Amino acid sequence: MGIALRKSNKIIGQIFTKKIENNRLGSIGYRITRKYWGNGYATEALQAVLKFYFQKTELKRLQTDVDVRNIASSKVLEKNGFIKEGTVRQGKMGRKYCDYHIYGFLRTDYKKQS
């Protein structure tokens, strides 16, 4: 799904869910064009996706992984209530090997925020 600016409808990034298993578990990811970093767009998009999944579907858990060097993305997740569940050392994340954090968000976490 594209992330667009409200005024111009210009696509500046994407947010996506992959690997949905048994309508219970999904992995989420997002990307914002560098020019638009730091403006809250990822946070806003993630809030909208969480609202959709936990109000309109039976999904129980979303998870994601983040390179330990990507502090801004970790902040976006934590701001939205994701819990850091662990760190994988020198694991494979996508096509690269690096240290990365695993974050999770449960349906019960969403209910606590509402």
89 is in which domain, residue-wise?
Answer: 2-113
pLDDT at res. 38 = 93
Q: Does the pLDDT at position 114 exceed 80?
A: no
Q: What CATH number is associated with residue 86? A: 3.40.630.30
Classify burial at 82, counting beta carbons within 10 Å of its beta carbon; exposed 0-12, middle 13-18, buried 19 or more.
buried
Q: pLDDT digit string (tens) for 4-41? A: 999 999 999 999 998 888 879 999 999 999 999 999 99
Q: pLDDT digit string (tens) for 77-89? A: 999 999 999 999 9
In three-state secondary structure terms, 68 is coil
Number of domains, the chain: 1
In whole angstroms, give the CA distance from residue 1 to residue 31.
11
Q: How much is the mean pLDDT over the chain? A: 94
Q: Does the pLDDT at position 95 exceed 80?
A: yes
Encoded amino acid at 97, one letter: Y
Q: Does the pLDDT at position 104 exceed 80?
A: yes
Q: Is the pTM of this model over 0.75?
A: yes
Structure tokens at 85: 């569940």
From edge to edge, which strands make up the β-sheet containing 61-67? 2-4, 11-21, 25-32, 61-67, 96-106, 83-93
pLDDT at res. 19 = 82
